[in-house]
């Protein structure tokens, strides 16, 4: 499966270690299109060697191409919110992973009926278990 992994960049990079581990886990049996999100050297400035319109067009075409969106939402991010709304518009399956110890998920995501695969987790092993349980039924 081609997976669009969405997580914070300019919203803050505190959870990059979680993103890297989730991407590596998903890549065991799938292809993650957005590997750069788990790059430790990518700062809060984002991919600033690229134009913002290039980043946006590239990511929207990856979103159109993917079979599944996995979003890690614990660190709030405008970009991830936009990607989730776009995934709904494109009728893509979405899995949302959220660590409630880090933040409360926006009502605009938690309250959208389309997002019916929202999972709270408290450690990375639990997140892996959720993905391993949910992915086969996508
Ligand atoms: O440099 C970037 N590259 C990139 O692919 N994105 C996309 C992928 C992420 O899932 C999402 C992060 O949005 P934000 O930067 O607003 O936190 O936007 C976002 C940026 C910077 O906004």
φ and ψ at 33, to 5 degrees?
Answer: -80, -25
Q: Catalogue all structural domains in the chain, each as residue range(s) with its CATH number.
A: 2-137 (3.40.50.450)
| Model confidence, pTM | 0.99
- What value does the mean pLDDT of the chain take? 98
Q: Is the CB of 23 inside a 6 Å radius of any atom of ligand 1? A: no
Q: Tokens 């997976």 label which residue?
A: 3
For ligand 1, the distance from its centroid to the CA atom of residue 22, given in whole angstroms, is: 17
71, β-bridge pairs: 6, 96
Measured CA to CA, the distance from residue 109 to residue 28 in angstroms comes to: 28
Q: Which helix (H) or strand (E) holds 52?
A: helix 52-65
Q: pLDDT per residue over 17-73, tens digit each?
A: 999 999 999 999 999 999 999 999 999 999 999 999 999 999 999 999 999 999 999
- 72 touches ligand 1 (CB under 6 Å): no
Instruction: Evaluate: CB of 22 within 6 angstroms of ligand 1.
Output: no
Amino acid 21: pLDDT: 98
Q: 120: CA distance to ligand 1 center in Å?
A: 22
Residue nearest (by alpha carbon) to ligand 1 atom 8: 6
Among candidate residues 108, 128, 121, 26, the one with its CA nearest the CA of residue 74 = 121
């Amino acid at each position: 499966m081609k997976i669009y992994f969405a997580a914070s960049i300019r919203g803050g990079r505190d959870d990059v270690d979680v993103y890297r581990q989730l991407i590596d886990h998903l890549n065991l049996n799938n292809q993650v299109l957005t590997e750069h999100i788990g790059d430790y050297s990518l700062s809060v400035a984002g991919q600033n060697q690229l134009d913002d319109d290039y980043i946006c067009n590239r990511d929207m075409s990856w979103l159109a191409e993917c079979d599944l969106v996995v979003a890690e939402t614990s660190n709030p991010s405008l970009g991830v919110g936009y990607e989730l709304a776009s995934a709904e518009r494109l009728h893509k399956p979405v899995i949302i992973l959220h660590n409630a110890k880090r933040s409360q998920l926006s009502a605009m995501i938690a309250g959208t009926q389309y997002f019916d695969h929202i999972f709270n987790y408290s450690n990375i092993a639990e997140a892996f278990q959720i993905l391993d349980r949910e992915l086969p039924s996508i």
